[in-house]
Amino acid sequence: MAEFSPRITLFCCESCGFPAAERAVKQGYSLSPECRLIKIPCTGKLDVLYILKAFEAGSDGVAIAGCPEDACRYETGSLRAKNKFDKTRAILEKIGIEPERIKRWQVSSSMGEKFSRLLSAMEEELANLGPLFPDRLKKRGDN
Protein backbone atom coordinates (compact mmCIF):
# COMPACT_ATOMS: atom_id res chain seq x y z
CA MET A 1 0.00 0.00 0.00
CA ALA A 2 1.23 3.47 -0.83
CA GLU A 3 1.93 5.61 2.19
CA PHE A 4 -1.34 6.44 3.81
CA SER A 5 -1.87 9.97 4.97
CA PRO A 6 -4.86 10.05 7.32
CA ARG A 7 -7.61 12.57 6.82
CA ILE A 8 -8.32 14.41 10.05
CA THR A 9 -11.08 16.87 10.86
CA LEU A 10 -10.17 19.24 13.65
CA PHE A 11 -12.93 21.09 15.42
CA CYS A 12 -11.17 24.07 16.91
CA CYS A 13 -12.47 26.55 19.41
CA GLU A 14 -11.91 30.09 18.12
CA SER A 15 -10.35 31.21 21.38
CA CYS A 16 -7.85 28.44 22.00
CA GLY A 17 -7.63 25.57 19.57
CA PHE A 18 -7.65 27.63 16.39
CA PRO A 19 -5.07 30.24 17.50
CA ALA A 20 -2.91 27.36 18.74
CA ALA A 21 -3.05 25.84 15.26
CA GLU A 22 -2.17 29.19 13.69
CA ARG A 23 0.71 29.54 16.08
CA ALA A 24 1.96 26.06 15.24
CA VAL A 25 1.99 26.93 11.56
CA LYS A 26 3.81 30.23 12.26
CA GLN A 27 6.36 28.26 14.24
CA GLY A 28 7.00 26.23 11.13
CA TYR A 29 4.72 23.25 11.54
CA SER A 30 3.60 21.95 8.21
CA LEU A 31 -0.07 21.08 8.27
CA SER A 32 -0.94 18.04 6.19
CA PRO A 33 -3.29 18.80 3.26
CA GLU A 34 -5.49 16.00 4.62
CA CYS A 35 -6.20 18.01 7.78
CA ARG A 36 -9.28 20.16 7.86
CA LEU A 37 -9.62 22.80 10.50
CA ILE A 38 -13.13 23.87 11.39
CA LYS A 39 -13.35 26.96 13.53
CA ILE A 40 -16.26 26.95 15.95
CA PRO A 41 -17.16 29.53 18.60
CA CYS A 42 -16.76 26.99 21.39
CA THR A 43 -16.21 23.23 21.44
CA GLY A 44 -19.19 23.08 23.80
CA LYS A 45 -21.32 23.75 20.74
CA LEU A 46 -20.05 20.62 19.08
CA ASP A 47 -22.61 17.90 18.68
CA VAL A 48 -22.29 14.14 18.40
CA LEU A 49 -23.93 14.42 15.01
CA TYR A 50 -21.22 16.76 13.63
CA ILE A 51 -18.53 14.35 14.70
CA LEU A 52 -20.30 11.38 13.12
CA LYS A 53 -20.88 13.43 9.98
CA ALA A 54 -17.16 14.14 9.80
CA PHE A 55 -16.50 10.39 9.79
CA GLU A 56 -19.26 9.84 7.25
CA ALA A 57 -17.68 12.52 5.06
CA GLY A 58 -14.45 10.57 4.99
CA SER A 59 -12.38 11.54 8.02
CA ASP A 60 -10.14 8.84 9.42
CA GLY A 61 -9.98 10.72 12.69
CA VAL A 62 -11.56 13.64 14.46
CA ALA A 63 -9.91 15.91 17.00
CA ILE A 64 -11.59 18.39 19.24
CA ALA A 65 -9.22 21.18 20.17
CA GLY A 66 -10.73 23.24 22.97
CA CYS A 67 -9.66 25.28 25.92
CA PRO A 68 -8.43 23.85 29.18
CA GLU A 69 -11.51 22.92 31.23
CA ASP A 70 -11.04 25.76 33.69
CA ALA A 71 -10.29 28.36 31.04
CA CYS A 72 -13.40 28.27 28.85
CA ARG A 73 -14.67 31.76 28.24
CA TYR A 74 -18.20 30.35 28.34
CA GLU A 75 -17.34 28.56 31.58
CA THR A 76 -18.84 25.13 30.87
CA GLY A 77 -17.99 24.81 27.17
CA SER A 78 -15.01 22.51 27.62
CA LEU A 79 -16.96 20.32 30.01
CA ARG A 80 -19.81 20.06 27.54
CA ALA A 81 -17.30 19.12 24.89
CA LYS A 82 -16.03 16.38 27.19
CA ASN A 83 -19.55 14.96 27.51
CA LYS A 84 -19.99 14.91 23.74
CA PHE A 85 -16.55 13.40 23.31
CA ASP A 86 -17.27 10.61 25.82
CA LYS A 87 -20.63 9.94 24.25
CA THR A 88 -19.19 9.80 20.75
CA ARG A 89 -16.38 7.48 21.80
CA ALA A 90 -18.96 5.13 23.29
CA ILE A 91 -20.97 5.24 20.06
CA LEU A 92 -17.90 4.49 17.93
CA GLU A 93 -17.10 1.47 20.06
CA LYS A 94 -20.64 0.18 19.72
CA ILE A 95 -20.66 0.46 15.94
CA GLY A 96 -17.31 -1.20 15.48
CA ILE A 97 -15.10 1.83 14.93
CA GLU A 98 -11.87 2.20 16.92
CA PRO A 99 -12.48 4.81 19.62
CA GLU A 100 -8.87 5.98 19.16
CA ARG A 101 -10.05 7.73 16.03
CA ILE A 102 -11.37 10.56 18.11
CA LYS A 103 -9.24 12.79 20.35
CA ARG A 104 -9.93 15.65 22.65
CA TRP A 105 -7.19 18.17 23.33
CA GLN A 106 -7.03 20.97 25.82
CA VAL A 107 -4.78 23.65 24.37
CA SER A 108 -4.60 27.32 25.13
CA SER A 109 -3.95 29.81 22.31
CA SER A 110 -0.25 30.00 23.09
CA MET A 111 0.37 26.26 22.86
CA GLY A 112 1.43 26.00 19.25
CA GLU A 113 4.12 23.48 20.06
CA LYS A 114 1.72 21.26 22.03
CA PHE A 115 -0.76 21.43 19.16
CA SER A 116 1.76 20.28 16.58
CA ARG A 117 3.00 17.52 18.87
CA LEU A 118 -0.52 16.18 19.50
CA LEU A 119 -1.44 16.34 15.83
CA SER A 120 1.74 14.57 14.74
CA ALA A 121 1.15 11.83 17.28
CA MET A 122 -2.43 11.43 16.11
CA GLU A 123 -1.36 11.23 12.47
CA GLU A 124 1.08 8.54 13.36
CA GLU A 125 -1.46 6.59 15.35
CA LEU A 126 -4.03 6.81 12.56
CA ALA A 127 -1.46 5.85 9.96
CA ASN A 128 -0.91 2.69 11.97
CA LEU A 129 -4.64 2.07 12.35
CA GLY A 130 -5.15 2.54 8.64
CA PRO A 131 -8.02 4.19 6.85
CA LEU A 132 -11.49 4.08 8.41
CA PHE A 133 -13.00 2.84 5.16
CA PRO A 134 -10.27 1.26 3.02
CA ASP A 135 -12.64 0.96 0.05
CA ARG A 136 -12.97 4.70 -0.11
CA LEU A 137 -9.24 5.28 -0.22
CA LYS A 138 -9.15 4.14 -3.84
CA LYS A 139 -11.56 6.87 -4.79
CA ARG A 140 -9.87 9.55 -2.74
CA GLY A 141 -7.96 10.94 -5.67
CA ASP A 142 -11.26 11.97 -7.24
CA ASN A 143 -12.18 14.65 -4.74
Partner 1 sequence: MIVAEQKPIEEVLKSIEPFDKILVLGCNTCVAVCMAGGEKEAGILASMIRLAREKAGKLVDVLEKTVERQCDDEFLLAEKELYDKVEAVLSTACGVGVQQLSALLQIPVLPALNTKFMGGTKDHGTWSERCSGCGDCVLELTGGICPVSRCAKTLLNGPCGGSADGKCEVNPDTDCAWQLIIDRMTALERLDKLLEIQPAKNWKTARDGGPRTQTREDVKL
Which residues, including other chains, have CB under 8 Å from residue 6's CB and lie 6 or more apart? 34, 60, 61, 123, 126, 127, 129, 131
Q: How far is the CB of 55 from partner 1 (least distance, A)?
A: 6
Q: Contact with partner 1 (CB under 8 A): which of 26, 28, 33, 95?
A: 95
Q: Contact with partner 1 (CB under 8 A): which of 27, 32, 41, 53?
A: 53
- Which C-beta is closer to partner 1: that of 135 or that of 142? 135
Interface positions, 12-51, toward partner 1 (CB under 8 A): 47-49
How far from 74 is each of 44, 50, 68, 81, 132, CA to CA, in Å? 9, 20, 12, 12, 34
Kindly list the residues in this chain that would bind partner 1 in the complex (CB under 8 A). 47-49, 52-53, 55-56, 91, 94-97, 132-133, 135
